[in-house]
């Protein structure tokens, strides 16, 4: 099992690149049991979408 610190690193990196199969499995297993990290991943996705929407309005 990975730590919350590792899960947050992987959740952040998955926004920038495709995780390897092993990384995806480890992250998903951690997220299955850790509500705090599930919330953090959801916040990362929201921030990415909000930033993208803001950037597209600027152009």
Among the listed residues 42, 33, 35, the one whose alpha carbon sits nearest the alpha carbon of residue 12: 42
Least confident interval from 4-8, 41-45, 46-50, 55-59? 55-59
pLDDT at 38 over 90: yes
Of 1 and 55, the structure prediction assigns the larger pLDDT to: 1
Q: Note the pTM of the prediction, 2 decimals.
A: 0.83
- In the chain, the number of structural domains is 1
**Domain hosting residue 48, numbered range:** 4-58
Of 52 and 28, the structure prediction assigns the larger pLDDT to: 28
Neighbouring C-beta atoms of residue 10, cutoff 10 Å: 21
């Amino acid at each position: 099992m990975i730590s919350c610190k590792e899960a947050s690193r992987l959740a952040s990196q998955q926004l920038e690149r495709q995780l390897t199969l092993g990384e995806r499995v480890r992250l998903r297993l951690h997220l299955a049991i850790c509500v705090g990290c599930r919330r953090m991943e959801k916040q990362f996705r929201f921030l990415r979408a909000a930033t993208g929407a803001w950037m597209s309005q600027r152009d």
